[in-house]
Amino acid sequence: MEKEVVRITDGVPGTFKDTVAEEAFLTLYLNDKELLTLMCSPDNLKELSAGFLYSSGLIHSADDIEHISVNVSKMTSRITTRKKDLSDDAIFKRIYTSGCGKNMLFYNTLDVAGGKIVTNKIQIQSSQITELVKAFEAKSATYKETGGVHSAAFCSESEIIAFHEDIGRHNAIDKVVGEALFSNMNMENLMVLTSGRISSEVMYKIQKMGCAVIVSRSAPTSLAVKLAEKWNITLVGFVRGRRMNVYTAVERIGVAPRAKV
Amino acid sequence: MEKEVVRITDGVPGTFKDTVAEEAFLTLYLNDKELLTLMCSPDNLKELSAGFLYSSGLIHSADDIEHISVNVSKMTSRITTRKKDLSDDAIFKRIYTSGCGKNMLFYNTLDVAGGKIVTNKIQIQSSQITELVKAFEAKSATYKETGGVHSAAFCSESEIIAFHEDIGRHNAIDKVVGEALFSNMNMENLMVLTSGRISSEVMYKIQKMGCAVIVSRSAPTSLAVKLAEKWNITLVGFVRGRRMNVYTAVERIGVAPRAKV
C-alpha cells in the first residue's frame, strides 16, 4: 500500500510516499465448511492454504488434496480433500486451537505423542550457512521496501530452492511448505531458513516436515531448544555474517579444519 | 535457560554458556472452564491473564474480576468473574478464535461493529517520543540477554509507567494492560510503546484500551494504518533516534518550530 506519511527528522516534518506491507484476511474452507481466517500477506494463497493444512497435520502430501481454489477478490480458499472425514467437529476444534499459534495442538502433542526423532545424517559446512543466509537476506525484497514482513526458505546445502514472505512468520514457513508440496520436493533433505525467532511452534512445523536443520538470524526459545534436542534437529541461531550459534545436534555442521599450531 | 552452545566464528567452533529466552504454556480457566493455553514468558502471569481477558473483550475493568489465582508450578491461571454468564459456549468459541491472533473476533468486529473513534486531544512532542523510545530500549533487559523477546510499555508524555517483556508481542501488550487494570491507571491518557510490528490485531487492542497514540520502532501493516485512520489513532512507526514516521492523526505530534529563513 502506498501511503503519504509525515516523516519527522530532528523535529522537522516532511511528507513522503511510504510503501506499507499489505495485510489481508484469508478465510479457509475445508470440504465446504469454514475452517478459520488467517491474517496474511495476500500472495501465494494456494501455497499458504496447502502449507497451513500440512503444518496443522490435516494433510500429509499434495495427493491428499482433491481440489483447491482461491478467490482473490473474496479472499477465500476452498480445499476439498480425498478423505472427506477430516471435516468432523473434532478436527475442526483441533484446528481452531492449533490456529492459536498451534499452541493447544502442540501442547497435547508434546505431552502425548512425542514426535519422530530425525535420523538424517546430512552435513553442511558453517561457511555454506553463512553464504545461504547472505543470499536469503538479499532476496527479502518486501522487507527492504516495507520493513514489515518475515521470510522463510527451503534450501539445499548450496542454494535456495523455495522462498516466500509474509507479515506472519508462520505463514512464510507455510508458504514454502505449500510450494514444496505442489512441486513434490523431498522436504527431508532440505534445510529451513527463517528470518523470525524460533519458538516451539516453529519446531513443531519443522518436525512435521521431517527437516534436519533449521537456521535463523534470530534467537530460539527454551522450549524450541528442548524440542530440537529431543527430536535431534540441528538448531542454528543468531547467524550474523560468519558467526553463528549451534544449539543442538552440532554433528551435522562441518567446520573448517583448525590451523596447526 | 542456560544452555551450552557451540559458537562457530569463521569456521572455528568454541563452546559458551548462552541464556535462552524462557517459553512456557499457561492454561487459562475462566469460571472453572478451560479457556485456552497461551505460549508465553513465565512472568507476571496474573497481569497476562487479566490483560488477555480485557484485550479479548471478556472483561472491561479490574472490577469485573472476582478472583484470580495463578499456580506457577502447574502453570495455570484461574479467573472467576462477577458476571458468571460469560462462560457460555458462544463466548468460549469466540475466545478460541480470538486466541488465534484475535483474527476471527477482529474480522467480525471490522465488518460489523466498527469501534469507537478516539477524540482525545493529547499532544506529544516528537523529541519526547525520541526520549521515551530511548528509555524503552534501555529497559529491555531480557532482550539484551537473550535476543528473543518483545517489550511493551504504557507511558505518559515524559516517562514509562508500566513495562513488560514476553516472547509474544501480544502477550507483552497484555501484560502492561493487566498492570494498568490492577493499578487503576486511566489508559485513555497513556501512550503505548511496542518493540514489535503493528498489525491489525495490535490496533484492535489499542482501540479497546481507548489509547490515542501507539509508537513502535518497527513497521505497521496496511490494515493497521487503515484502522488507525478510521479510529483517529496516532500511529508512529520506525522510530530510530530522532527520526520517525507518523502514519495517521499527525495533529497530536508537536514538532519543533521551523527555523526562520
* H, E, C per residue of A86-99: HHCHHHHHHHHHHH
Residue A112: burial class (beta carbons within 10 Å; 0-12, 13-18, 19+): exposed
Confidence of residue A147 (pLDDT cuts 50, 70, 90): confident
Q: Is this complex scored with an ipTM above 0.90?
A: no
Q: Is B21 on the interface with A (CB under 8 A)?
A: yes
Res A73: pLDDT: 94
**For domain B24-111, is the CATH number 3.40.50.10860?**
no
CB contact under 8 A, B255 and A12: yes
Q: Nearest CA to CA, how far is B149 from chain A (Å)?
A: 9
Grid cell locating A14: 516532511
Residue A240: burial class (beta carbons within 10 Å; 0-12, 13-18, 19+): exposed
Q: How far apart are CA B41 and CA A222, in angstroms?
A: 10
Report phi then psi at B43, rounded to 5: -145, 160
Res A112: pLDDT: 39
Q: Is A42 on the interface with B (CB under 8 A)?
A: no
Which chain A residues in 139-158 lie under 8 Å from chain B, judged by CB atoms? 146-148
Q: How far apart are CA A212 and CA A10, in angstroms?
A: 48
Label residues B104-141 b or e (16+ Cβ within 10 Å = b).
Answer: bbbbebbeeeeeeebeeebebebebbbebbebbeebbe
Q: Is B39 on the interface with A (CB under 8 A)?
A: yes
> Smallest Cβ distance to B12: which of A8, A200, A258?
A258
> Smallest Cβ distance to B107: which of A37, A148, A256?
A37
Nearest residue of B to residue A150 by CA position?
B197
Confidence of residue B257 (pLDDT cuts 50, 70, 90): low
Grid cell locating B236: 508512529
**Residue A118 scores a pLDDT above 70:** yes
Cβ atoms of A193 and A155 closer than 8 Å: yes
Nearest residue of B to residue A143 by CA position?
B219
**Residue A78 scores a pLDDT above 50:** yes
Report the pLDDT averaged over residues B61-66: 94
Asked if the domains at A24-111 and A124-254 fall in one CATH topology, the answer is no
Chain B CB contacts of A146 below 8 Å:
219
Q: How far apart are CA A152 and CA A160, in angstroms?
A: 10
> How much of chain B, in percent, has pLDDT values that exceed 90?
69
Q: Which has more pLDDT, A148 or A216?
A: A216
Q: What is the CA radius of gyration of chain A?
A: 20
Q: How far apart are CA B56 and CA B142, in angstroms?
A: 27
Res B248: pLDDT: 97
**For domain A124-254, is the CATH number 3.10.20.30?**
no
Pairing of strands B76-81, B24-30: parallel
C-alpha dist (Å) from residue B248 to B131, B199, B252 = 21, 14, 9
Of A222, A147, A161, the C-alpha closest to A193 is A161
> Smallest Cβ distance to A11: which of B9, B12, B255?
B255
Report the pLDDT averaged over residues A88-106: 44
Look up the pTM and report it. 0.89
Q: Is A69 on the interface with B (CB under 8 A)?
A: no
Q: Which has more pLDDT, A99 or A176?
A: A176
Nearest residue of B to residue A34 by CA position?
B104
Q: How far apart are CA A174 and CA A237, in angstroms?
A: 20
Which chain A residues in 158-197 lie under 8 Å from chain B, judged by CB atoms? 167-168, 197
Of A191, A128, A204, the C-alpha closest to A156 is A191
The pLDDT tens digits for A195-243 are 999 998 899 889 989 999 999 999 999 999 999 999 999 999 999 999 9
Grid cell locating B11: 569456521
Average pLDDT of chain A is: 87
C-alpha dist (Å) from residue B184 to A261, B51, B90, B122 = 66, 13, 29, 20
**Residue A130 scores a pLDDT above 60:** yes
- What is the domain partition of chain B in residue ranges? 24-111, 124-254
**Max Cα separation, chain B?**
68
CB contact under 8 A, A8 and B246: yes
- A51's CB contacts (< 8 A; 6+ apart) are A173, A174, A175, A176, A177, A178, A179, A181
Nearest residue of A to residue B105 by CA position?
A37
